[in-house]
Amino acid sequence: MKTPHILLIVGGGIAAYKACELIRLIRRAGMTVRCVLTDGGAQFITPMTLAALSENEVFTTLWDLKNETEMGHIQLSREADLIVVCPATADLLAKMAAGISDSLATTVLLATDTPVLAVPAMNVRMWQHTATQRNVTQLRADGVRVIDPDDGAMACGEFGPGRLPEPAAIMTEIRAALSLRAREHLPLQGKRVLITAGPTHEPIDPVRYIANRSSGKQGFAIAAAAAELGAEVHLIAGPVQLPTPTGVHRHNVETAREMAAAVDAALPADVAILVAAVADWRTADSAQQKIKKTGGVLPALRLTENPDILAGLATDARRPELLIGFAAETENVIAHAQAKLARKGCDWIVANDVSGPNGQSVMGGSDNAVHIVTRDGVESWDSLPKDQVARKLMEKIADAVR
């Protein structure tokens, strides 16, 4: 798959320092990035910093003899898959709206036929000024994707809308903009993907429950990656506090039985990826009131099995073309995963080792090392950030269901 290329135009404002973190996130997402640094931006951050982070040349002037002999500003304006203006100052927005090209940045923006994402940051009164709002309206009418700034405290001491969104939120907008541009060419366009994520909570009484350490991060990352590849994604989410990925249909549940019902309601699907760590057992009869201590006598909790969602889906008449389960193991990871593959009747098992202290090496963490277990063998991947695991897995899935 083609590596997305971002051209980042860094405007002049105190929020320019956040461009450094944004570059890190862009590169971590497997994209390449080049930077254009405006004169104003250079008052807050240096070309050397941006070059070191991006590992690419940084462009600062329209009057570079070598680059402009090769029509550098035209090449910059056309080679990117997306141009991101961050921070987009009031001055930059005004010049973009008016079609002014008095610098490298504004000339690139006027010469481009590439989609543009503008991320405004400025004083609250500047943002709310009639002229700025008129410019934003014009830019949106012209097809520029302008996201609203956050509310918050600013370097000037005032509070309100005008604060640059956090880099992670900007990264979400970048993914969405790239997805919209390429959607008709994406490998999972027209495919329906069902994903479960997170733990389940099985009530003991109104204040206690049986649960596990699953954070939902890997499942949510897989849902985001599936949407980026063009799929219609239905995410059945256990009780986790994670933002819904862009373009994903989210269905919240709490218990294993609720998750099973939601999976059934989401069928049919072309692909099902059951990442959720579903509780194997629940109390046979949860108490209607809080269970009290009674003189040192321990309450008897009678357990019963929860529905096996993966095995049930494997025998369903609406079984997806590709059915994938996950296995969180603490020993003999591959052997247990191979046994689970045979027992459950699915196509792949994605297994990982969660034997770190309290399972926190993977569960709740940011990285994951997985083994893809199929009837044809085992493919083991080195530890990667969970979003990279998700993209690599979804690319493998896209190849399998083309």
Q: Which among 324, 327, 286, 283 has a CA at the least distance from the CA of 306?
A: 283
Q: What are the structural domain ranges in the chain?
A: 5-181, 186-401
Catalytic residue among 20, 35, 86, 156: 156
Q: Does domain 186-401 have CATH number 3.40.50.10300?
A: yes
What confidence score (pLDDT) does residue 77 get? 76
Instruction: Specify which residues 120 forms β-bridges with.
Output: 88
- What predicted TM-score, i.e. pTM, was given to this entire model? 0.59
On the 0-12 / 13-18 / 19+ scale of CB atoms within 10 A, 295 is: exposed
Binding-site residue ranges for CTP:
280, 290, 307-310, 326, 340, 344
Going residue by residue through the chain, which has 402 residues, state the pLDDT in tens, using 9 for 90 and above.
Answer: 578 999 999 999 899 999 999 999 999 988 999 999 999 999 999 999 999 999 999 999 887 655 554 545 677 877 889 999 999 999 999 999 999 999 999 999 998 989 999 999 999 999 999 999 999 999 999 999 999 999 887 776 778 888 999 999 999 999 888 876 655 567 898 899 999 999 999 999 999 999 998 999 999 999 999 998 889 999 999 999 999 998 899 999 999 999 999 999 999 999 999 999 999 999 998 888 998 888 778 888 899 999 999 999 999 999 999 999 999 998 999 999 999 999 999 999 999 998 876 545 667 788 999 999 999 999 999 999 999 999 999 999 999 998
Taking the CB of residue 336, how many other CB atoms lie within 10 A of it? 17
Q: Do domains 5-181 and 186-401 have the same CATH topology?
A: yes
Q: Please tell me the predicted confidence (pLDDT) of residue 258.
A: 97
Confidence (pLDDT) at 230: 87
Class in CATH terms, 5-181: alpha beta
Q: Residue 184 has what pLDDT?
A: 52
Query: DSSP state, 48?
Result: H
184: tokens are 């008709």
Q: Which residues pair with 305 in a beta bridge?
A: 281
Let me know if 156 is a catalytic residue. Answer: yes
